[in-house]
Structure formats: C-alpha cells, structure tokens
Amino acid sequence: MVVPVPTDLDAYWMPFTANRQFKKAPRLLVGADRLYYTTHDGRQVMDTISGLWCVNAGHNRPRIVEAIRRQVGEMDYAPPFQMAHPQVFELATRLAGLFPDGLEHVFFTNSGSESVETALKIALAAHRARGEPGRFRLIGRERGYHGVNFGGLSVGGIGANRKAFGPLLPGVDHLRHTHAPERNAFSRGLPEHGAEFADDLERLIALHDPSTIAAVIVEPVAGSTGVLLPPRGYLERLRALCTRHGIFLIFDEVITGFGRLGAPFATHAFGVTPDLVTVAKGLTNGVVPMGAVIASRGIHDAFMNGPGEGIEFFHGYTYSGNPIATAAALATLDTYAEEGLLTRGPELAGFWEDSLHALRGLPHVIDIRNYGLVGAIELDPIPGQPTQRATQAFLKAYEAGFLIRTTGDTIALAPPLIAEREDLARLVEGLATILRTLD
C-alpha cells in the first residue's frame, strides 16, 4: 500500500533532524509489525535500532495493544497528586522487583529526560534531608547523554547538544570519557584496558572536596554517543569511590535497561548496584511515553522523617503514572516475562558478536564494539566532513531496507530482542554490502 506524502510539511519542526534536507525527500513510516516498518511507498524496512532504543519486544505486540484499548475504555486519566489508581502501585512493585535488593522505590515520569531531572533532584534533596545541604555538585561524564532538559544537558557531555544553551546549571563537572581506541579497538565485549579512568573522580574530589559533591551520573554503556562500553572493572571502581566519599551513584539505564545487555538491567549485567537508576524507553516498549526513577531504600527513607501529613518531595508531573502508560507498561512486563526477553541476550550474543566482527577489514571500518544485543561500527571520517560518511551509510541502508541509527561517524545497532539468528545474519550481510559502497 502506498500512502501519499502530506502536501504541507512546513508546520512540523522535527526534533534532532536536518529539517530542510528531510523535507526535500521525506522518509515516512506508516506501519510496523514485529521487526519491520512499512514505509509510505510500500516497502518493508528492518528496524535495527528498536525504534529509538525503545521497542525491545518488537512492534505491534497484541498484549500491549489490547491493554491500552481496555484501559482507555475504563479510565483514561487519573490525577497523580493526592490521588492514585490501583494499577500504578502494582507496576511500581513489579518494576522494583526486577532490581537488586535495596532498590525498592519507584517515582514515575514521562521520559528519560524527565527521569534524569528527577534523579538529580532526588539526589540533591536527599542530601539536604540527611543534613548535608552543602552537597550540591553534580558530576557527569564527557560524551555522556542524559536527555535534553537543563539538568540532563548540564551533566551530559555531548558538545553539539550543549553549545547553544548558555552556561547551563552551575556546580557541574565531568569525568573523562572511557573511549580509548588506541588500546581497545575491536574489543569483543568489555574492553580490557581503562578501569583506571574511574580514578578521574579522585581528581574532581580533590578539586571540589567530597563534601560538596551530591552525585555522579553515568550511562553504564554510553549509547547515544556511539556505544562506548565500560572497561572491565571501571564501574566497580566508580562504585567504590562514591561509597567511600558519601556520593550517590546514578545509573542512567534509559538505553541499557529491559534486556538490552542480556540481563534485565546493567546493574545485573555488570554486578554493580547504584543508589538511583533512571529508566524509560523499554518500560512501555516505546508505545506510550513513560519513565521512572528507582531509588534505594536509604534515599527514599531520608524523605520520610517529617510530619506525616506533609508533602515529602515537591516534585512530579501531570502524567506521572498515567493509567494508559501504566497499562502499557504492565503488558510490556508481561510480554518480556512470557517470552524470556529480559534474559534472552546470551542466546544470541555470541552469534551477534561473531557476525559484527566479521565486518572488520571492510572499507573505512576503524572499530567494532558489542555487548549483549547492542553493537557499533565506527567509521573513519571523511577528512573535513565529519558525520558525512555515516550519513551516507544511513541513507543507503534505508534504501536497502534497513533502518539504522548513526551518531557522529558511528553506526549504532540495537535490534529488537525478538530477532532470530537469520534476522541478524541478514542485517550484517546488508551492512557489509553497504560498507563496501561508501565513499
């Protein structure tokens, strides 16, 4: 079925898009099922990035669709301030139950960006509640991505996202990133070298004094900057330093959560438990906007010491725990559980790793990275034209029937967790053909 392109494309200001270029040759998606999108010109395009790192269970899943239909007919909205609905308590209990002991309390948001803002505010307010209001500094990491609100931009470390918006939040500093291709190029799984990068926190502690630092926030795997994996031992060292100095450690698991790394969350995959975790994306399989912050018992209880009738935390959103989103999330968790998707990664990880690394030696490929069902192919930039080679790959892949994601000159891959070996083989074979044709 061919769907005509709308006659007027001007009013919609598209996010993170070269609007003028796009509107000269629109790429429109009009349907989706399982691993494939249908384009407006009737073609089937494989979704190799799970929508935008979010459709972990694949598209058009019947249980999720039916749950949303049913909930809309029963109750479309319930105010979250001083009121609630029963299902949101069930969802919080089930979500907390997926995490290691000690991470027990869930605060709902509507996106990954809002989850980050919420986690940062929780960290600051918790120190104040515990009698340490001098802990106001927030530490992010170079090349980190934590959404697009002011707090997330401030602790984030991607220059293009930050440069247009002034000085951002005060009292923020950054660890150095962990990318070291001179030692770790073409690593299979976690890089062997670079755990000492965590010690950069000692430099910031010496500079600012630990009594001023509230929290460190990192992505366990830095996704939007090009799938940068933590060196072996890095996260353990970061956890130990934060514990020693009374600093909260926040894992931004908006991308790594819900089975992407072959375990429910990076906290399981890497055996490191933070104090706060941010999630979104895969929580509802990308169907309805929803996010959450999972907080430790100690952080939550620090707020529960005042008068019982008083509001403990002056923060929240009109759509926190929205009934439609809650129904979608519960059905998503059911789908994950029924199909074993949160722990399916190891079945495919070895095949995925071997297939990706078979691309080594093709033109312009300077690094390949993988873990679980996430991967990256880094390309040598065209001199004087950064990002253009990857953009060329994106456009050629779309014409060849693959929707890929590029960031800088890196192709990022995160196929839905329902993919089979033959799907992954088809993807990698297609990428090999495309890589051989790049300028």
Per-residue pLDDT reduced to its tens digit, 118-128: 999 999 999 99
| Percentage above 90 pLDDT, the chain | 98
HEC sequence for 303-316:
CCCCCCCCCCCCCC
What span, in angstroms and rounded, lies between the C-alpha atoms of 285 and 287?
5
Per-residue pLDDT reduced to its tens digit, 318-372: 999 999 999 999 999 999 999 999 999 999 999 999 999 999 999 999 999 999 9
pLDDT confidence bin for 307, thresholds 50/70/90? confident
Given strand 374-379, what is the order of strands in its sheet? Answer: 365-371, 374-379, 410-413, 405-407
What span, in angstroms and rounded, lies between the C-alpha atoms of 202 and 218?
16
pLDDT confidence bin for 77, thresholds 50/70/90? very high
Domains and their CATH numbers in the chain: 19-60+341-435 (3.90.1150.10), 65-339 (3.40.640.10)
pLDDT confidence bin for 377, thresholds 50/70/90? very high
Per-residue pLDDT reduced to its tens digit, 242-293: 999 999 999 999 999 999 999 999 999 999 999 999 999 999 999 999 999 9
| Percentage above 70 pLDDT, the chain | 100
DSSP assignments along 281-342, one per residue: GGGTTTSS--EEEEEEHHHHHHTTTS-TTS-S-----TTTT-HHHHHHHHHHHHHHHHHTGG
Does pTM top 0.85 for this prediction? yes
Average pLDDT over residues 109-130: 98
140-175 burial, b if ≥16 CB within 10 A, otherwise e? bbbbbbbbbbebbbbbbbbeebeeeeeeeeeebbbb
Look up residue 65 and give its two tokens: 């669709």
pLDDT at 401 over 90: yes
Give the H or E element holding residue 36.
Answer: strand 36-39
What span, in angstroms and rounded, lies between the C-alpha atoms of 187 and 125?
40
pLDDT at 18 over 90: yes
What span, in angstroms and rounded, lies between the C-alpha atoms of 194 and 205?
19
pLDDT at 1 over 90: no
Average pLDDT over residues 17-27: 97
pLDDT at 308 over 90: no
pLDDT at 309 over 90: no
Pairing of strands 172-175, 213-218: unpaired
**Can you give the pLDDT at residue 207?**
97
In degrees and rounded to multiples of 5, residue 174 shows phi and psi of -135, 135
